[in-house]
Structure 1
Amino acid sequence: MRPVRIVGRALLMSAVAVTPFTVPAGSTAAGNAAAASVYYVAPNGNDSAAGTQAAPWATIAHAQAVVQPGDTVYLRGGTYSYSHGIKSCASQTDRVDAITLNKSGSSGSSIRYWAYPGEKPVFNFSGMKDDCRIKGFDVTGSWIHLKGLEVTGVPQNNNLNHESWGIWISGSNNTFEQINTHHHMGPGLFIQNGGGNLVLNSDAHDNYDLHTSNGAGESADGFGAHISAGNPGNVFRGCRAWWNSDDGFDLISAYSSVTIENSWAWRNGYIPGTTTGAGNGNGFKAGGYGGDYDAGAVKHTVRTSVAFLNRASGFYANHHPVANDYFSNTSYGNHPDFNMLGVDSSGAAVGRGNLRNNLAYTGTLTSNMTGTSAANNSWNLGVALSDAQFQSVSTSGWDAPRPADGSLPVLPSLRLAANSALIDKGVNVGLPYKGQAPDLGAFEAN
């Protein structure tokens, strides 16, 4: 066992902490505000009932009308189906919500909408007929915590719009934990605005915008954050994005810094489940403003993350005007693995990025590196790479079920072998590491 060195701020302390929370079958929630209440919603419930475990409500909308900061709503297992928005479409380019969460909690007293332990509530929007853009969940409130929900099937019912959305967020200080969002005609989870939001241990996959105004497949990302200035602190941690027709993670037009850490992206840019190309196909698209220079650009951070077999780049700067930080990432079989295409104030293409301790193997390793600050990466250390450097180079099984705590499954794939020449070849960037120096790539060897 190699000694662990914690240097600088620990990796897992960069955003809002999530405190484990269990509630007995009583009527108050421990660990929140005094005498906070616990309510229940079930597919076979009734909104005229008491909202207790024995007499649950039917809808999350009714629960929101009752809850106060610190309260918990347990969502029982089963399918909650939706056929229309809460208002009618004013035009074919209007936007409607199936569920609006606009009541806020407060600091230390979030409103919790949680899956009942051991059960899976599924919010299915595939039956919605609204002839305009649709948001499955529209979260405009703040200090809200969604946990353990499956969200699926938001359609796009005409060709006049770019996409619809599984979950749309414009509030602040919210947590989205153990969310499985998939098979939407648009992004799985999208942060439009707000700061301090944490997307934790969540999956977004098989999203494909077949009906869209800018070409089929061009707008269905797994996760996106396109936030305005003054909204720092949005974090994606422990997330997976795969088989999305556009990009896995997309930070285009984000004017506040975003952090992506300990996350995986693969097989993006294809019609889901096929090798037929669709949208852009980057694993992690870290910024950009439509290809133009923008003086309001901010720096993003992508670290300890893995991209493999995406149709385009594993990690892509996307014409970003400033240098993002790319630390301790692994890219395998992408074309290229790291593409640092940036733009300067004159509009000229330049390399942009601070790259340390990254690992690129197979595919096309790098492009647009001139102008970057790159050191202690696998391609500039003169280390010969081969499959023998890894415990495994398998690209299957990455969508394995998560452990009960929602963390990523522990796989041998793309982890360094015990005798790998990539061990201790990194440089201290303020993240935890074992041994004399950081290893290269997303995973520290044992």
Structure 2
Amino acid sequence: MTAHDGERVIIDGENMPHTPGAVGSSIPRAERGAVHIEGDHWRLAGLEIVNGPYGIFGLDASGNVFDRLVTRDNYESGLHLQGASSGNLIVDLDSHGNRDPRKNGESADGVAIKEGSGSGNVIRGARLWNNSDDGLDFWMFLGQVTVESSVAWGNGFNRWNLPDYTGDGNGFKLGGGDPDPAVGHAVRNSMAFDNAVHGFTDNGNPGRLVTDRSTAWRNGGTGFDYADSVSVLTRNLSVANRTQAAPGSSSSSGNSWDLGGTWTLASTDSGTITGPRAADGSIRSSSFLRPANGADVGARL
């Protein structure tokens, strides 16, 4: 399902049930999503999904491709996968401004792969910003997910004047649950900046996360919060966060906090990375948040 002949196509879910739902209410699974998928091998490309009770909701959905989509201003997460969901590819997604008045902001993420299991799910080239809860959330998902060359910023702030606001405000929330399952998600070459709380966090996941050459800048909490995991952290850059890193028992090598010293940045102008994408849908390259000394530390986007 794609746009015809390069046209801009908007799927608008406003006035569907639960837009918004009453405070404290739940949305029946069958009614979740302006686009609702319970199937395999769909390809959605070049569409804009807005104002839905979730933007895209996939349940027991495998082998799907979500390509160059925009999921914005929905009344729950922009793109949400749940249940037995494997082998999905999310590429060059923009997901922003999603909020959930019925839960006072604590549930609407840019991307949520939650409460399920499945292998081979990949997120590549995503931009996740200004969502009420987190940029990305892997709460209670039991299969390993890979994240590459993605960016999360400005998440967890009450931009909608929601009462009793409870948004978490992490850039990349890599697990968690009750009890916390041990899952080895992987993040590479990604950035988190200006989020309300942590840049990257294990969120209580005791597993072996792998995070390599990623950057946390100016987040309100810890840049890399891995205090509860036994992760592998390599060549990451953490600058101007409230706390730079909490590696706990994780293996930590070649990161800015291991190398020490003062880290200055080649550019703090986010205009290129947050502006229009390239013609092929990729994030435009810039020197944003690269070390001024040229060290091989942190993300390169």
| TM-score, normalised by the number of residues in structure 1 | 0.61
Count of aligned positions: 286
Q: Which residue of 2 aligns with 1:443?
A: 300
Instruction: State the distance in 1 between where 2:210 and 2:268 align.
Output: 26
Q: Is the 8 A contact 1:227 1:256 kept in 2?
A: no
Q: Is the 8 A contact 1:243 1:271 kept in 2?
A: no
Counterpart pick for 1:311 among 176, 179, 196: 196
Note if 1:329 corresponds to 2:220: no
Q: Which residue of 1 aligns with 2:87?
A: 196
Task: Tell me which amino acid in the other structure corresponds to 1:142.
Answer: D
Q: Is the 8 A contact 2:238 2:245 kept in 1?
A: no
Instruction: State the distance in 2 between where 1:179 and 1:307 align.
Output: 20
Query: Secondary structure at the residue paired with 2:257?
Result: helix
Q: After superposition, where does 1:214-293 map in structure 2 within 5 Å? A: 216-229=104-117, 231-272=118-159, 278-290=166-178, 292-293=179-180
Q: Which residue of 1 aligns with 2:54?
A: 165
Alpha-carbon shift at residue 227 of structure 1 (Å): 4.9
Counterpart pick for 1:144 among 21, 26, 42: 42
Q: Alpha-carbon deviations, 1:17-74, whole Å to 9, x = none?
A: xxxxxxxxxxxxxxxxxxxxxxxxxxxxxxxxxxxxxxxxxxxxxxxxxxxxxxxxxx
Instruction: State the distance in 1 between where 2:42 and 2:184 align.
Output: 27
Structure 1 residue ranges without an equivalent (≥5): 1-112, 155-163, 343-350, 424-438
Task: Tell me which amino acid in the other structure corresponds to 1:339.
Answer: D
Percent of aligned positions with the same letter in both sequences?
34
Instruction: State the distance in 1 between where 2:92 and 2:71 align.
Output: 12
Task: Tell me which amino acid in the other structure corresponds to 1:260.
Answer: V
Structure 2 residue ranges without an equivalent (≥5): none
Identify which range, 299-308 or 390-399, moves more after superposition: 390-399
Alpha-carbon shift at residue 411 of structure 1 (Å): 2.8
Instruction: State the distance in 2 between where 1:114 and 1:323 align.
Output: 38
Alpha-carbon shift at residue 272 of structure 1 (Å): 3.4
Task: Tell me which amino acid in the other structure corresponds to 2:74.
Answer: H
Describe the shift of the 1:285–1:129 C-alpha distance in structure 2 as closer, same or farther (beyond 3 A).
closer
Query: Secondary structure at the residue paired with 1:380?
Result: helix
Task: Tell me which amino acid in the other structure corresponds to 1:165.
Answer: Y
Describe the shift of the 1:273–1:128 C-alpha distance in structure 2 as closer, same or farther (beyond 3 A).
closer
CA RMSD, 1 decimal: 2.0
| TM-score, normalised by the number of residues in structure 2 | 0.89
Alpha-carbon shift at residue 416 of structure 1 (Å): 3.7
Instruction: State the distance in 1 between where 2:154 and 2:48 align.
Output: 21
Instruction: State the distance in 2 between where 1:270 and 1:174 align.
Output: 31
Q: Is the 8 A contact 2:273 2:283 kept in 1?
A: no
Task: Tell me which amino acid in the other structure corresponds to 1:205.
Answer: H
Instruction: State the distance in 1 between where 2:134 and 2:108 align.
Output: 7
> Based on CA coordinates, which of the two structures has the bigger radius of gyration?
1
Q: Alpha-carbon deviations, 1:91-132, whole Å to 9, x = none?
A: xxxxxxxxxxxxxxxxxxxxxx11123211100011224676
